[in-house]
Structure 1
Amino acid sequence: MAPVTTARFDMQKPPLMSDEVSLADSPTTWRSREMLIAFFTIAMISLHLILRFAVSTSETTYNVPLWLTLALGGIPLVWELLKKLWRREFGSDLLAGISIVVSAMLGEYLAGALVVLMLSGGEALEAFAVSSASSVLRALSKRMPSVAHRKVDSVVEDIPLSKIQIGDHLAVFPHETCPIDGTVVEGHGVMDESYLTGEPYLMSKAPGATVLSGAINGDSALIVRADKLAVDSRYAKIMEVMRTSEQKKPQMRRMADTLGAWYTPLALAIGVVAWIASNDPVRFLAVMVVATPCPLLIAIPVAIIGSISLAARRAIIIRDPSSLETADTCRTLIFDKTGTLTYGEPNLVEQLLVDDSRQHELLSYVGSLERFSKHPLAGAIVAAANRAKTVQQNVSEVSELPGKGLTGIVAGHRIEVTSRKKLLAHQPESSDALPAQAGGLECVILVDDRYAGTYRFRDTPRPDGASFIKHLGPRHRIDRTMLVSGDRESEVEYLAEQVGIKEVYSSQSPEQKLNIVNEETAKANTIFVGDGINDAPALMAATVGVAFGQNSDVTTEAADVVVMDSSLQKIDEFLHISQRMRRIALQSAFGGMALSLVGMFFAAAGYLPPVAGAICQEFIDVIAVVNALRVAIPPKKLFDY
């Protein structure tokens, strides 16, 4: 077991690194117009209502705000919809554009202004919620220092990352992010590489150990030799993959657009036929008023917003509303290993002893000694000792020198915790007593210089993992579950066997994960669940990306859904919320459209004039929206495994 000490250098720590980044700093501006139109429309409608009912002005006066809305907000939106029509894109918003024009021609200015608000507000809301490549890249950039601390002889100077040369010696201070891929040349400590590699443990670092850019240093300063330029580092490669992932992610067709693709041409056809058959353009206008797709433009967004609210109350943050529409259509669920199906921390799982009858006694000795250690596995041993309710022994003469392991006198016995390699180097005759090597991490225990046993550690599987995986098919129509991890084969296979996953990929880089997700998404809609920076490209490429916890701002930015409380139950709740939202939204949309179709036929036959048609449509809207509001009412139970 590698020792941990704090290396000391004759140098002062430079000022903290700057947060300035060079990538994707400019804010996205493409959604600004829709947001501006939405806010302007709200203000104008409010002014109209005040002038009409509070001030009692003339009709011309109180209609001025609505005219301004139709002119300044409606015309730009209608122009965009005309371009969609030219490209033969027949979505529900196209019919809304026609409704704006028809409302203006009929003098139904308030109705037209409300349609403007629905169009612009919906687009602004969606744009605000959907994550973008620039935000992810900014988050990635902010994690990296803008300068490196180059050490020449005993002097440390700050240099830009672009000035780092292969072979430079760089100081990485406690809790800093390593700027390059390299090799430790001075110091002993630990680094957290879990966000990059999927390994759930803090990794010991001593001279000769490799380090990855983006890893977070522990409590000890390290001197690292640069083996690659910053532009060729592991972290830079992940950023490059992220850009590719965003560019290649297919755009999912929204529910309202799918339904509007046939509803819009049908409504237009009914209106045109009514006009031609009666030779009366008023009938076309009446059909268009009744056909205004409010069940699509209002009921579906209401259901989505209600579901977002319900999810938030369950500690599930919906960053992309379209994920609620598409999650229930996904047939493949892909898991990262660390922190999703496991807790992401080591756990003592085996105690292989020379004398099994002394298991409790030995754990008492080792647990008492490990309370004085900073090694990554010390906490797991202490936790196991606490669970076993062992007695804390008196400890003295504790030593944890670099390369020597942990030793101490415990209850009169000399206890040593070391590694298999160090034991065999000093006591080769102990090889016969040692168990065969297996997956996971291990440490070797000596009592009074004699081999006493081996402790083995693994990342702890979640106890409900197997039942969760088993219920996905029957309850959520998930045809395939896959485990794709950057961790070692032995660790991944062990977990897959515990939870019942057959399709397993281990030792996968972010690029390989991305390729797997792209291939699977081409076959069927996918959900990817991950929690580390190495998962970010896959999260963006999947149909729905779910980030587990808040371990990384990069992961949060890349995901469509963020589960704040890291538990599989929350994944199940999200799937049920999506399923329920889709069912209620479709009820509202189809029910509203069916009633609208009945109204259109009456209008086409001349039995429903435009004003009566507008009133009829408002009645239909109320029914659709009231039904959609049911989605915000929490059911008795949101999980079923």
Structure 2
Amino acid sequence: MSGFQDRLNVVLVAIALVGLVLGLGIWATGHPQLADIVWTAGVAPVLAALVFEIIRSLSKGDVGLDIVAALSMSAALVFGETLAAAVVALMYSGGTFLESFAERRARREMSDLLSRVPRSATRHDNGALVEVDLDDIAPGDLLLIRQGDIAPVDGTVEADGAVLNQSALTGEAMPARLPRGGDVMSGSTNTGDAFDLRATHRATDSTYAGIVRLVEAAQKSKAPMVRLADRYSLVFLVVTVAIATAAWWFSGDPIRAVAVLVVATPCPLILAVPVALVAGMSRAAHYGVLIKGAGPLEAMARIRTVILDKTGTLTDGRPRILTVETQSDLTANEILFYAAALDQASKHPVAQAIVASAQDREMGLPVPVDPVETPGAGITGLVDGHRIALGGADFVIGQVGSGHSDHPATSEAEVTVAVAVDGQLVGYLVMADMLRSGTGGFLAGLRRIGIARILLATGDRQAVADGVTEGLDLDEVHAQMAPDQKVRLVLSEREHGPVMMVGDGVNDAPALAAANVGVAMGARGTAASAEAADVVLLVDRLDRLLPGLEVARGARRIALESVIAGIGLSIIGMIAAALGYLSPVEGAILQEVIDVAVILNALRALRIMPKCAP
């Protein structure tokens, strides 16, 4: 809601309150006619604003229960029930203000993200520090991140280390300690000493900017359940008018019709659903699960089938060295040293994994000389004066002229990188893309919360897929799948119920878009998958999906509880008013109690505590 609308709500509440209290004071002094005038004056601005809103809604094709509020105030004024009209005006304006307050409270976690957007940054320029706008930052710029600063763009640590609080992005309570070269997500807060950050992206392309765009889109969304509530509101409007007409017709007393109308003003159906779903979105964001809208959140609550990609989703997505097999006098560390030093010249994922492994062991790597890379085969070059060759066994053997070597036995899921030094094959690096830690527990968690089918869909060979998933609780493993085949798998599974697809690569984007709910691994996933997905995991942990699913189910359940209870109580109140047991004033007060109760109940979604929370 805009700031103008918020201020208008406050003004209308104030006018209605002053009119009601002042009129009661005048009435108590024995001047009922003057009191009627004051009460009417307090109602008029609220009624005028309400009529304007109704006309605007009708022009868009929306019919809501604001019409009942307008009818109840108008009828009360026409039939001389000015006190009832004043109470309804106060209750309606107060209910609108309470609803906007509740929605702001429900959006707290997402609003916190938006409020943290940095506006400028401190950049190193020719030996001086200059304050620059975010739009002026380019990849390669060196920025100073002082203690308490928020990283304005994605980048890498250009210092011995950095301590960053990423809780606003990932939900992780403990600060993360990043080494030199560590990846920094924009939006992280520096809680340690000042450090230099080497920008890798422009501000508009950085993690935090993408999150902000997703949050803004989520805040404008409307869930199918909310649209369904809009349709039911028309039915409720007809029922309300029918009961009010019948009460007047059979009793001959128009005041009973007025009482029926005020009991139905406004409707818990309209208040409870958006507040509960927005509260659920905010709660999920607390756990690092960014849901793009109320619609995806509602769909998440009904998921029964989950399809998982393998590389980068079920597995870590980065090959890791399992062992170093030596075939010479060189030690395993020496072989890794030569391989990593040369692989600094390559951008291949396997090469980057080898370099990362050496850096983890704090090896000082020299700059390679004259590197020559043969794409898909291997690389050669000089390291500390030694001629190094590494890559596939056939490539390296061809480089050194050896006829044969004892190739280490590996599984289908493992790869080997041969290493030669000065014309001699000295060993192999055995590598594999490992399952994420806790994958078995994650799958068990899906079963516990009611997921009936769990499938794997990967482009890898069947033998590799079977080797990686051996022992996992999966219903089916589909291998060698092209992007269009993944889409067909999703569509076939949708015939049996709502489907969630989880992936991280460009090839997963079509399947993510085809699923009822697409989930992207946002920490390292591609922009294409994040754009196509309905849900983005802000931290690179698959198990964060579990609390997200639990929150979605809890929020939907709370919304339905609020609607059923609120509508039930409203109908009982209308029947009581039709039979003459409630006056218009009593009916208005009763309805406001019901509205407050359902809104407070909907806000319970902010306190959902998932059993699978990290």
TM-score tier, shorter chain, comes to 0.5 to 0.7
Q: Aligned pair count? A: 469
Question: Alpha-carbon deviations, 1:157-207, whole Å to 9, x = none?
Answer: xxxxxxxxxxxxxxxxx99xxxxxxxxxxxxxxxxxxxxxxxxxxxxxxxx
Judge which range, 611-620 or 333-342, deviates more: 333-342
Equivalent in 358, 364, 372 of residue 401 of structure 1: 372
1:364 maps to: 334
- TM-score, normalised with respect to structure 1: 0.61
Distance 1:338 1:408 in 2: 33
User: Which of residues 495, 503, 509 in structure 2 aligns to 1:530?
Assistant: 503
Q: Helix, strand or coil for the counterpart of 1:606?
A: coil
Query: CA deviation digits over 1:300-357, x for unaligned, max 9?
Result: 32222332332233233232023333312110112223332222222123555658xx
Alpha-carbon separation, structure 2, partners of 1:353 and 1:469: 38
Query: Which of 300, 303, 328 is matched with 1:330 structurally?
Result: 303
* Paired residue secondary structure (1:343): coil
- Alpha-carbon separation, structure 2, partners of 1:393 and 1:122: 56
Q: 2:284 aligns with which of 308, 311, 325?
A: 311
User: Residue 517 of structure 1 aligns to which amino acid in structure 2?
Assistant: V
Given the alignment of the two structures, is residue 460 of structure 1 paired with residue 440 of structure 2, yes or no? no
Partner residue, 1:202: none
8 Å CA contact 1:70, 1:112 repeated in 2: no
- The residue aligned with 1:549 is 522
Work out whether residues 289 and 613 of structure 1, in 8 Å CA contact, stay in contact via their aligned partners in 2.
Answer: yes
| Alignment of 1:47 onto 2:11 | yes
Distance 1:290 1:407, change over 3 A: same
Q: How many angstroms does 1:576 deviate by?
A: 1.8
- Look up the equivalent residue of 1:68 and give its one-letter code: A
Distance 1:264 1:491 in 2: 60
SS of residue paired to 2:312: helix
CA 1:260–1:527: 2 relative to 1, 3 Å: farther
**CA deviations over 1:548-569 (Å, ceiling 9, x no partner):** 2254444434333222112123
The gaps in structure 2 that reach 5 residues or longer are: 24-37, 77-84, 111-138, 141-199, 201-221
Letter in 2 for 1:582: R
Alpha carbons of structure 1 residues 599 and 424: separation in structure 2 relative to 1, 3 Å: same
Which position in structure 2 is the counterpart of 1:71? 51
Contact 2:280 2:551 in 1 (8 A): yes
Which range moved further: 60-69 or 315-324? 60-69
For 1:481, the equivalent position in structure 2 comes to 454
The aligned residue for residue 567 of structure 1 is: 541
* C-alpha deviation, 1:75, in angstroms: 1.9
For residue 393 of structure 1, report the CA deviation from its aligned partner: 9.3
Superposition map of 1:98-177 within 5 A = 98-106=68-76, 107=85, 108-110=88-90
Deviation at 1:468, TM superposition (A): 0.5
Partners of 1:591 and 1:606 in 2: CA distance: 23
Q: Structure 1 residues 400 and 437 mapped into 2: Cα distance closer, same or farther (>3 Å)? A: farther
The structure-2 alpha-carbon separation of the partners of 1:584 and 1:436, relative to structure 1 and needing over 3 Å to count, comes to: closer
2:299 and 2:517 in contact (8 A); partners too: yes
Question: Match for residue 576 of structure 1?
Answer: 550
Given that 1:45 and 1:65 are in contact with CA atoms closer than 8 Å, whether structure 2 keeps it comes out as: no
Residues 553/589 of structure 1: CA separation in 2 closer, same or farther (3 Å cut): same
- Residue among 343, 360, 363 paired with 1:373: 343
Q: Within 2, Cα distance between the matches of 1:123 and 1:295?
A: 14
* Partner-residue secondary structure (3-state), 2:433: strand
Q: Secondary structure at the match of 1:523?
A: coil
In the TM superposition, what whole-angstrom CA distance separates every residue of 1:39-97 from its partner, at most 9, and x where no partner exists? 665444333344556797955554453243123211232465xx67xxxxxxxx64454
What's the offset of the Cα at 1:578?
Answer: 1.4
Q: Please give the alpha-carbon distance, in whole angstroms, between the structure 2 residues aligned to 1:401 and 1:531.
A: 31
Q: Give the superposition deviation at 1:607.
A: 0.7
Q: Whole-Å Cα distance in 2 between the matches of residues 472 and 96 of structure 1?
A: 42
Shift of 1:253: 4.3
1:624–1:616 Cα change, 3 Å: same
Q: Retained in 1: the 8 A contact 2:99–2:599?
A: no
- 1:179-328 alignment, distance < 5 Å: 252-254=224-226, 256=229, 270-271=243-244, 273-292=246-265, 294-328=267-301
Partner residue in 2 for 1:628? 602
CA contact (8 A) 1:118 1:298 kept: no
**1:453-475 deviations in Å (ceiling 9; x for gaps):** 433433232111111112212x2
**SS of the counterpart of 1:461?**
coil
TM-score by length of 2: 0.64
> Cα deviation per residue 1:380-402 (whole Å; 9 max; x = unaligned)?
23444577x6x969989855324
Q: Could you tell me how far apart the structure 2 residues matched to 1:409 and 1:66 are?
A: 80
For 1:65, give the aligned amino acid: P
Distance 2:59 2:552 in 1: 34
2-side partners of 1:251 and 1:307: how far apart? 12
CA distance in 2, matches of 1:68, 1:40: 17
In 2, the alpha carbon distance for the partners of 1:552 and 1:118 equals: 40
CA contact 2:342–2:382 (8 Å) conserved in 1? no
Q: Percent identity?
A: 30
Distance (Å, rounded) in 2 between the aligned partners of 1:54 and 1:280: 30
**Structure 1: which 5+ runs fail to align?**
1-34, 85-92, 131-173, 176-218, 220-249
> What SS class does the counterpart of residue 546 from structure 1 fall into?
strand
Separation (CA, whole Å) in 1 of partners of 2:565 and 2:387: 78
Give, in angstroms, the shift of residue 572 of structure 1.
1.1
Conserved in 1, the CA contact under 8 Å of 2:342 and 2:380?
A: no
